[in-house]
């Protein structure tokens, strides 16, 4: 999408223009890392392009983004590196794409994860959002394609959604450049701790909760400070190979340690994945 | 000069770590001996199950090796403490029994894996699993077990031993002993002898299917499954184990999604238990879960796939996939 | 969260549980469940999602936008769906051919004008003849050819295609013809990867990632080559213009040429299905398979962005790659033609040696040599052939079609059958080295990379051999 909003368009984009310096792919040096997750074909690449000024091709068919893209932008004097994760419906199925996205959100420990959702198919998109919320509380939901929702007469109450999810929700229409300034400000507030989140927890059913409740104390005792013991328990119960491995190899200990320290800024994101 | 290059290449081919011929040969030899031991263990286990004792001769004929080789094998296994030889035959030691159970576990886990995650035809699964069962370490087996969700039964309904060697209890009774006109669900199909098993597969009967015995005589059983009647010989029916069928939702009958036509609507009641692996995971990801409304929107010119609206998205499925989805028809959309 | 009651066993263990103990506990818990844990977790996630959605979303009007539904009815209709697809395809080709003709000629005459003057400048500066020859008549001419032949069609083809892509039409194509792919044991999404292949096979192979079941993905990767990529379009377009269009009156020429290109793509599609069926029934039997295809809502493409992305990202990207490959190849051709052994150039030697194989399949040694030189980039096949034919030992200019026809038909005995054979060979033969490398990257398997290279080559030779020998035996031509 057009990276340079024409003057006098949206007030929001004027403010955006003042603060935003698009850095394209020159992101050798950054203050924060932001992951961009979402279902396939929800305009994730458009959001990415609008933020970074890159022009990654965005076709209208699911799965267009097949390689992980990185870009950056500067906002209010801080440099953000942004990673466009492959589009996935879920983080459970362990396909290559889902593993890349899951590993990044869990082990890469981004400073913030933006989940882009399609406002016209909210219910399906919430599947991914609710999973991400179990992994991390540093989440901003980008309620994209608001223009399309309007056209179809779908009205989404983003305030109610934010209340239900317990994390900020920013309505956007990335194609028109709407809402992106607010999105960046919200991400900055999450990272700098100005916004507190209380992420929604999966309600579950008796069987599931009984099993999870038995495992969580064990995990918390063995890995004090593990930020997402509940999710790890669920993944173990589902037989997730990667999480098993992380448990066996002690990788989980490192995660637990990182979760404990409130000062995370100095730490390099422990990112060790290659897109093949 | 050329000679040296040739020699160098040959040496490399022979001695290359991991992939060289020598390493391969060694690995194969080790595998062969492991396979021989495990096959012998399985044979002893089977015999004990049948309350008979194995002998050196029976080991030889089972493994298709000479009696001398079999004797050598038995002696090696005895030295390793896997079996004890007494005057009347060979018995598994506790260690041997534990190992044998791990082989059973490997075999059944592989069967489960092949059935869920690949398209290998059901009648080939047993033979493939037999080749694969000797290849994994116990740790790898544990991982596979976990990745498959710790299944309790293999595709034929045989119990899979746990990592600690416990065997889940089997429920149900033989179809021959089931009363007529009472719906039953298939929980186990005996895969030996293969001829009988092939007949059951050919009839299209599989685990999880709901069947009703229509007529039972001493010479034949008429069984109805999915509105199709099958005639089975009692010896075939005896190899099918069943238990009480789950009650359908009161009132409305349950049918497959395929039966819905464009303009109608249905509510998903269940994903077929036979649908496992990739396809099931994909269904779940897309929100095709029990209770959700689903509505065919359009059909391709060739009759399939059909596009369904589910949770606001438009998803195209092929016929055999919509066959996996059980629904309760809701009639026309208002 | 529910109150959990700790198991006795774990309570008595002193200190925190080890990883092994936790895993064992998880296993035991899992076994107590009646359905797989995955089902439970996804069900409860969706229960929450449904509850939230019902609170925050209000729907005015139909759940399915009327406009979308109306478009879908036409685009996927039993009557109009398939014809519409072919008409669109032919239309894209027609616009490309007609639109590219004039700019191509203009570009060519300009670039060759530069060559003449550059060469004259070098000669005037007293540089030895072989420096001028190698740099201007070898390297530069290779570049000039590739740019003038490839740039205009790509600059037209890619934007049009990108618009179709952005609209959301391509998944509907997949939906329409999935049944054929199913019969071949393949996935409907393969239609998407094939259309990417029309641009560049390497890109098509990468696009196969959208197919999530392993078997269908591998099939799509191995057969992507049967969609003629950009590098092969110049050859096909030249033959279509020179031999097919020439057989029709001028008013129909462009349509006939476009029609023959559609036919080539259809043959490519049939080969794809045939080879897919073969693979899925033999070597790939038993690999896992699954099918789901999401049909996204239609969206209005942003024309400015389409132009930008398709010209910068695709056209220039593909052109740059071609240029990088063409420059050394141009030099190599010049060298082969100018190095003499026993009074004959190396080109003559090798093409003479390849002649029997070439004649058996309706081609000749020079064409086969050109295909060997063009392994890095298919774009340079035609220039190489022309250069080898002309005694000048360098690529000839193409600013005059009549001249070209005279060279091929008059001097080197090309017939309609040669043209047909060459079009088929161009369609079916092995992919370029970049594509083969990409196959390796995507499958991480040397075996599949080798198969992806050799299988099409074998098929090309076999098919052409049968075709040509059959015609010879029955004396049809």
Domain boundary among B226, B244, B262: B244
The helices-and-strands tally (H runs, E runs) of chain C is 22, 4
Q: Is the peptide bond before B305 cis (omega within 30 degrees of 0)?
A: yes
**Which domain does C244 fall in, by range?**
92-287+299-474
CATH code of B277's domain: 2.30.30.90
Domain boundary among B92, B121, B145: B92
Structural contact between residues A19 and A76, judged by C-beta atoms closer than 8 angstroms? yes
Residue B9 CB partners (closer than 8 Å, separation 6+): none
**Which domain does B202 fall in, by range?**
173-244
Taking the C-alpha atoms of residue C199 and residue C469, their distance in angstroms, rounded to an integer, is 33
pLDDT reading at A33 higher than 50: yes
Using alpha carbons, list the distances in angstroms from residue B94 to B84, B89, B189, B202. 10, 16, 29, 40
Instruction: Report the pLDDT value the prediction gives residue B142, as an integer from 0 to 100.
Output: 80
CA distance C291 to chain A (A): 14
A123 vs B334: which has the higher pLDDT: A123
- Mean pLDDT (whole number) for C76-98: 83
Quote the tokens at residue A270: 């422990």
Instruction: Report the pLDDT value the prediction gives residue B92, as an integer from 0 to 100.
Output: 83
Contact C206 A67 (CB under 8 A): yes
Taking the C-alpha atoms of residue B275 and residue B282, their distance in angstroms, rounded to an integer, is 11
| B40 band by pLDDT with thresholds 50, 70 and 90 | confident
User: pLDDT exceeding 90 applies to what percent of chain C?
Assistant: 4
| A74 band by pLDDT with thresholds 50, 70 and 90 | confident
Going by their DSSP bridges, the two strands B306-310 and B313-317 should be labelled as antiparallel
Contact A239 B148 (CB under 8 A): yes
Taking only the tens place, the pLDDT of each residue in C184-210 is 888 888 888 888 788 778 778 877 877
pLDDT reading at C65 higher than 70: no
Contact with chain A for residue B287, Cβ under 8 A: yes
Taking only the tens place, the pLDDT of each residue in B11-25 is 877 777 666 777 777
- Domain for residue B72, yes or no? yes
Angle between helices C317-338 and C365-373 in degrees, nearest 10: 130
Structural contact between residues A268 and A101, judged by C-beta atoms closer than 8 angstroms? no
Lowest mean pLDDT among A18-22, A52-56, B94-98, B247-251: B247-251
Residue A163 CB partners (closer than 8 Å, separation 6+): none
Taking only the tens place, the pLDDT of each residue in A87-119 is 888 888 667 778 888 888 888 888 999 999 999
Taking the C-alpha atoms of residue B286 and residue B257, their distance in angstroms, rounded to an integer, is 16
Q: Where are the beta strands (DSSP E) in C111-182?
A: none
CA distance A206 to chain C (A): 8
Q: What is the interface pTM, i.e. ipTM, of the complex? A: 0.81
The distance of Cα C411 from the centroid of its chain, to the nearest Å, equals: 33
Helical H segments across chain A, by residue range: 11-19, 44-52, 96-106, 122-135, 146-151, 158-165, 180-191, 206-222, 229-237, 241-249, 251-260
Q: Tally the domains of chain C.
A: 1
Cβ–Cβ contacts within 10 Å for residue B128, how many? 17
pLDDT reading at C9 higher than 90: no
Contact with chain C for residue A215, Cβ under 8 A: yes
Taking the C-alpha atoms of residue B301 and residue C81, their distance in angstroms, rounded to an integer, is 7
Taking the C-alpha atoms of residue A47 and residue A183, their distance in angstroms, rounded to an integer, is 10
Structural contact between residues C93 and C259, judged by C-beta atoms closer than 8 angstroms? no
Instruction: Report the pLDDT value the prediction gives residue B140, as an integer from 0 to 100.
Output: 80
pLDDT reading at A42 higher than 70: yes
Q: Is the peptide bond before B193 cis (omega within 30 degrees of 0)?
A: yes
Q: Domain check: are B226 and B271 in the same one?
A: no
Residues of C in Cβ contact (< 8 Å) with B303: 179
Contact C206 A66 (CB under 8 A): yes
| Mean of pLDDT over chain B | 79
Q: Reading across the β-sheet that carries B264-271, which strands appear in turn?
A: B254-256, B325-332, B264-271, B293-299, B306-310, B313-317, C293-294
Three-state SS at A116: strand
- Domain for residue C7, yes or no? no
Give the residue from chain C lying closest to B311, CA to CA.
Answer: C50
CATH code of B63's domain: 1.10.10.10
Q: Which of A36-40, B127-131, C431-435 ranks highest by mean pLDDT?
A: A36-40
Contact with chain C for residue B314, Cβ under 8 A: yes
Going by their DSSP bridges, the two strands B240-244 and B184-189 should be labelled as antiparallel
Taking the C-alpha atoms of residue A242 and residue C433, their distance in angstroms, rounded to an integer, is 35
Number of residue pairs across A and C with CB atoms under 8 Å? Answer: 210
Element holding B270 (H helix, E strand): strand B264-271
Quote the tokens at residue B323: 């066959």
Structural contact between residues B159 and B167, judged by C-beta atoms closer than 8 angstroms? yes
Structural contact between residues C287 and C215, judged by C-beta atoms closer than 8 angstroms? yes
Instruction: Report the pLDDT value the prediction gives residue B135, as an integer from 0 to 100.
Output: 77
Element holding B332 (H helix, E strand): strand B325-332
Lowest mean pLDDT among B27-36, C37-46, C278-287: B27-36
- Domain for residue B83, yes or no? yes
Instruction: Report the pLDDT value the prediction gives residue A50, as an integer from 0 to 100.
Output: 82
Q: Tally the domains of chain B.
A: 3
- Domain for residue C13, yes or no? no
Taking the C-alpha atoms of residue C400 and residue A171, their distance in angstroms, rounded to an integer, is 59
Kindly list the partner chains of chain B, i.e. chains with 3 or more CB atom pairs below 8 Å.
A, C
Instruction: Report the pLDDT value the prediction gives residue A132, as an integer from 0 to 100.
Output: 93
CA distance B147 to chain A (A): 5
Q: Which of C38, C59, C165 is opposite residue A154, by nearest beta carbon?
A: C59
Q: Could you say which DSSP state residue B74 is in?
A: H
Contact with chain C for residue B307, Cβ under 8 A: yes
Q: Could you say which DSSP state residue A113 is in?
A: E
Contact A92 B281 (CB under 8 A): yes
| Residues 142-161 of chain B whose Cβ lies under 8 A from any Cβ of chain A | 143, 145-150
| C410 band by pLDDT with thresholds 50, 70 and 90 | confident
pLDDT reading at B267 higher than 50: yes
- Mean pLDDT (whole number) for B222-237: 82
Three-state SS at C330: helix
Taking the C-alpha atoms of residue C364 and residue C360, their distance in angstroms, rounded to an integer, is 8
| C14 band by pLDDT with thresholds 50, 70 and 90 | low
Taking only the tens place, the pLDDT of each residue in C320-363 is 766 777 777 778 877 887 887 777 778 788 888 888 888 888 88
| Mean of pLDDT over chain C | 79
Taking the C-alpha atoms of residue A113 and residue A107, their distance in angstroms, rounded to an integer, is 13
Helical H segments across B181-231, by residue range: 194-202
Three-state SS at A256: helix
Lowest mean pLDDT among A63-77, A127-141, A235-249: A63-77
Q: Is C390 left (phi over 0), alpha (psi -120 to 50) or beta?
A: beta
- Domain for residue C423, yes or no? yes
Q: What is the DSSP string of C388-443?
A: HHSTTSSPPP-S-HHHHHIIIIIIT---HHHHHHHHHHHHHSPPPHHHHHHHHHHH
Residue B247 CB partners (closer than 8 Å, separation 6+): none
Q: Which of C27, C47, C289 is opposite residue B150, by nearest beta carbon?
A: C27
- Mean pLDDT (whole number) for C414-443: 85
Contact A237 C314 (CB under 8 A): no
- Domain for residue C421, yes or no? yes
- Neighbour-count burial for A95-128, b at 16+ CB within 10 Å, e otherwise: bebbbbbbbbbbbbbbbbbbbbbbbbbbbbbbbb
Contact C286 B120 (CB under 8 A): yes
Three-state SS at C476: coil
Q: Is B227 left (phi over 0), alpha (psi -120 to 50) or beta?
A: left
Q: Which CATH class is domain A11-191?
A: alpha beta
Using alpha carbons, list the distances in angstroms from residue C26 to A12, A233, A255, B164. 50, 8, 20, 13
- Mean pLDDT (whole number) for B301-313: 87
- Domain for residue C185, yes or no? yes
Taking the C-alpha atoms of residue C255 and residue C275, their distance in angstroms, rounded to an integer, is 30
- Domain for residue B284, yes or no? yes
pLDDT reading at A266 higher than 70: no
- Mean pLDDT (whole number) for B277-300: 87
Each domain of chain A, given as residue ranges in start order, spans 11-191, 206-260
Structural contact between residues A46 and A175, judged by C-beta atoms closer than 8 angstroms? yes
Q: Is the peptide bond before C258 cis (omega within 30 degrees of 0)?
A: no
Q: Reading across the β-sheet that carries A169-171, which strands appear in turn?
A: A20-24, A69-75, A78-84, A32-38, A112-118, A139-144, A169-171
Taking the C-alpha atoms of residue A144 and residue A121, their distance in angstroms, rounded to an integer, is 10
- Domain for residue C357, yes or no? yes
Q: Domain check: are B258 and B317 in the same one?
A: yes
Q: Phi and psi (nearest 5°) for B242? A: -135, 160
Contact A57 C314 (CB under 8 A): yes
| B102 band by pLDDT with thresholds 50, 70 and 90 | confident
Q: What is the DSSP string of A71-99?
A: EEEEETTEEEEEEEPPP-S-SSS--HHHH
In 3D space, the residue among A36, A271, A41, A21 whose CA is nearest the CA of residue A140 turns out to be: A36
């Amino acid at each position: 999408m057009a990276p340079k909003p024409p003057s006098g368009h949206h007030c929001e984009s004027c403010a955006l223009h003042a603060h935003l310096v698009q850095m394209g792919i020159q992101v050798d040096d950054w203050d924060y890392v932001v992951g961009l997750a979402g279902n396939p074909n929800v305009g994730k690449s458009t959001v990415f392009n609008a933020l970074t000024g890159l022009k990654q091709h965005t076709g209208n068919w699911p799965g267009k983004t097949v390689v992980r893209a990185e870009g950056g932008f500067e906002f209010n004097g801080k440099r953000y590196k942004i990673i466009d994760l492959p589009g996935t419906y879920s983080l459970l199925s362990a396909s290559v794409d889902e593993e890349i996205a899951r590993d990044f959100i869990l082990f890469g420990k981004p400073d913030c994860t933006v989940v882009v959702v399609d406002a016209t198919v909210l219910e399906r998109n919430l599947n991914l959002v609710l999973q991400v919320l179990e992994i991390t509380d540093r989440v901003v939901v980008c309620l994209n394609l608001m223009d399309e929702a309007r056209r179809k007469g779908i009205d989404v109450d983003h305030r109610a959604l934010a209340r239900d999810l317990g994390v900020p929700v920013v309505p956007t229409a990335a194609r028109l450049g709407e809402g992106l300034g607010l999105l960046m400000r919200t991400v900055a507030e999450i990272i700098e701790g100005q916004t507190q989140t209380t992420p929604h927890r999966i309600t579950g059913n008796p069987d599931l909760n009984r099993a999870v409740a038995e495992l969580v104390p064990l995990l918390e005792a063995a890995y004090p400070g593990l930020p997402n013991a509940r999710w790890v328990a669920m993944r173990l119960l589902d037989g997730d190979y990667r999480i098993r491995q992380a448990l066996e190899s002690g990788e989980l200990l490192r995660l637990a340690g990182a979760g404990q320290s409130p000062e995370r800024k100095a730490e390099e994101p422990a990112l060790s994945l290659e897109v093949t | 000069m050329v000679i040296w290059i040739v020699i160098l290449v040959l040496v490399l081919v022979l001695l290359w770590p991991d992939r060289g011929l020598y390493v391969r040969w060694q690995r194969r030899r080790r595998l062969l001996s492991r396979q021989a031991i495990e096959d012998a263990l399985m044979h002893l286990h089977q015999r004990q199950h049948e309350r008979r004792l194995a002998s050196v001769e029976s080991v030889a004929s089972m493994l298709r090796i000479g009696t001398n080789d079999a004797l050598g094998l038995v002696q090696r296994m005895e030295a390793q403490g896997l079996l004890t030889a007494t005057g009347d035959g060979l018995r598994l030691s506790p260690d041997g029994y534990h190992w044998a159970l791990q082989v059973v576990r490997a075999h059944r886990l592989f069967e489960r894996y092949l059935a869920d995650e690949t398209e290998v035809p059901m009648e080939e699964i047993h033979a493939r699993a037999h080749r694969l069962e000797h290849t994994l370490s116990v740790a790898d087996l544990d991982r596979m077990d976990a990745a498959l969700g710790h299944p309790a039964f293999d595709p034929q309904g045989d119990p899979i031993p746990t990592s600690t060697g416990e065997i889940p209890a089997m429920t149900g009774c033989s179809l021959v002993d089931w009363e007529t006109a009472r719906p039953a669900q298939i929980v186990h199909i005996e895969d030996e002898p293969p001829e009988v098993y092939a007949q059951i597969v050919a009839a299209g009967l599989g685990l999880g299917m709901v069947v009703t015995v229509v007529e039972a005589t001493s010479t034949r059983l008429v069984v109805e499954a999915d509105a199709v009647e099958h005639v089975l010989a009692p010896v075939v029916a005896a190899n099918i184990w069943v238990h009480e069928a789950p009650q359908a939702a009161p009132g409305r009958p349950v049918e497959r999604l395929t039966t819905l036509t464009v303009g109608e609507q249905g509510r998903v009641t269940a994903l077929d238990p036979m649908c496992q692996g990739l396809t099931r995971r994909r269904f779940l990801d897309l929100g095709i879960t029990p209770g959700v409304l689903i509505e065919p929107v359009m059909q391709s010119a060739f009759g399939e796939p059909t596009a369904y609206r589910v949770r606001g998205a438009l998803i195209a499925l092929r016929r055999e996939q919509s066959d996996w989805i059980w629904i309760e028809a809701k009639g026309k959309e208002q | 969260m529910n109150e959990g009651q700790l198991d006795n066993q774990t309570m008595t263990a002193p200190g925190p549980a080890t990883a092994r103990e936790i895993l064992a506990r998880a296993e035991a818990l899992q076994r107590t469940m009646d359905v797989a844990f995955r089902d439970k977790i996804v069900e409860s996630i969706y229960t929450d999602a449904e509850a939230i959605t019902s609170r925050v979303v209000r729907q005015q009007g139909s759940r399915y936008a009327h406009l979308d539904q109306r478009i879908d009815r036409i685009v996927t209709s039993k009557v109009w769906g398939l014809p519409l697809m072919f008409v669109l395809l032919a239309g894209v080709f027609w616009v490309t051919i007609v639109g590219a003709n004039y700019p191509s000629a203009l570009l060519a005459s300009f670039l060759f004008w530069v060559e003449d003057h550059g060469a004259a400048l070098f000669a005037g500066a007293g540089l030895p003849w072989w420096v001028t020859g190698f740099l201007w008549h070898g390297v530069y001419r290779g570049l000039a050819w590739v740019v003038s032949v490839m740039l205009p069609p790509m600059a037209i083809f890619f934007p049009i295609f990108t618009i179709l892509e952005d609209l959301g039409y391509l998944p509907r194509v997949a939906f329409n013809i999935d049944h054929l792919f199913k019969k071949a044991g393949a996935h409907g999404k393969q239609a998407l990867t094939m259309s990417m292949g029309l641009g560049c096979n390497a890109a098509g192979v990468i696009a196969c990632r959208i197919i999530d079941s392993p078997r269908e993905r591998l099939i799509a990767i191995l057969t992507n080559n049967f969609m003629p990529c950009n590098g092969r379009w110049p050859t096909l377009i030249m033959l279509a213009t020179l031999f097919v269009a020439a057989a029709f009156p001028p008013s129909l020429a462009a349509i006939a040429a476009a029609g023959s290109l559609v036919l080539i793509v259809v043959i490519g599609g049939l080969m794809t299905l045939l080879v897919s069926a073969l693979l899925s029934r033999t070597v790939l039997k038993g690999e896992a398979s699954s099918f789901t295809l999401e049909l996204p809502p239609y969206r209005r493409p942003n024309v400015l962005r389409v132009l930008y992305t398709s010209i910068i990202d695709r056209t220039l990207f593909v052109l740059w790659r071609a240029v990088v490959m063409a420059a050394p190849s141009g030099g190599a051709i010049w060298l082969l033609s100018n190095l003499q052994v026993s009074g004959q150039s190396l080109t003559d030697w090798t093409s003479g040696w390849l002649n029997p194989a070439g004649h058996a399949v309706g081609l000749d040694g020079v064409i086969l040599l050109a295909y060997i030189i063009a392994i890095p980039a298919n774009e340079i096949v035609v220039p190489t052939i022309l250069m080898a034919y002309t005694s000048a030992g360098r690529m000839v200019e193409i600013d005059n079609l009549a001249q070209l026809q005279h060279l091929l038909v008059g001097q080197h005995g090309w017939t309609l059958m040669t043209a047909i054979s060459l079009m088929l060979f161009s369609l079916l033969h092995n992919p370029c080295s970049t594509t083969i490398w990409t196959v390796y990257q995507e499958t991480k398997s040397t075996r599949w990379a080798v198969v992806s290279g050799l299988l099409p080559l074998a098929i090309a030779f076999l098919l052409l051999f049968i075709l040509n020998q059959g015609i010879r035996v029955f004396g049809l031509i």
